[in-house]
Amino acid sequence: MVTANFYRKNGMYCGFIISGHAGGKFGQDIVCAGVSSAVMLTANTVTDFFEADACVKVKDNAVGLKLNSPEADDSARAMIFSLKEHLQAMAEENGGIVVVTKEIQ
């Protein structure tokens, strides 16, 4: 199962931690590939394109991003919110393989 947690501060999305695996055969799981692609697009857009001040951590089977100054970049926050909405739609379409569990204040 893929678990997605999103950080919010003062009601604004400012980061996420995505972990786990969708459960299919490694390298052939379309749901896991979709999640990975969306997460990497978000992280790369926030840091490389928007040049937001953010900390990105990649660990074994987990990716996290947190804006160092969440009030500073509307575009970065919008991208994080879009990832949340995208993963929520994937969760609804894939019956429990992807779970958006909570928002961390």
CATH classification at residue 93: 3.30.70.1490
Task: Please give the residue range of the domain that contains residue 72.
Answer: 2-104
User: What is the reported pLDDT for 93?
Assistant: 86
Rounded to two decimals, what is the model's pTM? Answer: 0.88
Per the structure, the count of domains in the chain is 1
Torsion of CA 8, 97, 31, 81, to 10 degrees: -10
Asked whether the beta carbons of 31 and 24 are under 8 A apart, the reply is yes
Instruction: Tell me which residues of the chain have a pLDDT lower than 50.
Output: none
Asked whether the beta carbons of 32 and 18 are under 8 A apart, the reply is no
